[in-house]
Amino acid sequence: MNNPTAFIDPFNPTAPISSEPPKEAVPPQIKERVQEAAHEAQDRAQEALNEVRQRAHDLTSEAEIIVKNNPVQTLLAAFGIGFVLAFALRR
């Protein structure tokens, strides 16, 4: 059991110990295609995340400009929205 060249099948622990590594269940071509697809999906997801972050940053910047240019109107709008929500949630 202390043989450094012994291989144990991780999917079948009751299988006898072998001196040869287990054969891959998935052909290398399929494995490579799956890895490529996973990398492509990861790249697309990262691009989408970056776009969402940029749009959120742009919207935040626009909101800051509106608040700075119209502080009274912003305060009245926030008060009005709060009043309407409080009234709607009380019922």
Question: What pLDDT, on a 0 to 100 scale, did the predictor assign at position 28?
Answer: 81
∠ at Cα 58 (52, 60), nearest 5°? 100
Cα–chain center distance at 39: 14
Residue 8, domain member (yes or no): no
Over range 10-35, report the average pLDDT: 74
Question: What pLDDT, on a 0 to 100 scale, did the predictor assign at position 45?
Answer: 97
* pLDDT one-digit tens code per residue, 29-78: 888 999 999 999 999 999 999 999 999 999 999 999 999 999 999 999 99
Residue 80, domain member (yes or no): yes
Residue 45, domain member (yes or no): yes
Residue 86, domain member (yes or no): yes
Q: Domain residues for 74?
A: 28-90
Total structural domains within the chain: 1
Residue 9, domain member (yes or no): no
pLDDT-derived band at 87 (thresholds 50, 70, 90) equals very high
Question: What pLDDT, on a 0 to 100 scale, did the predictor assign at position 27?
Answer: 78
Residue 43, domain member (yes or no): yes
Residue 53, domain member (yes or no): yes
Residue 1, domain member (yes or no): no
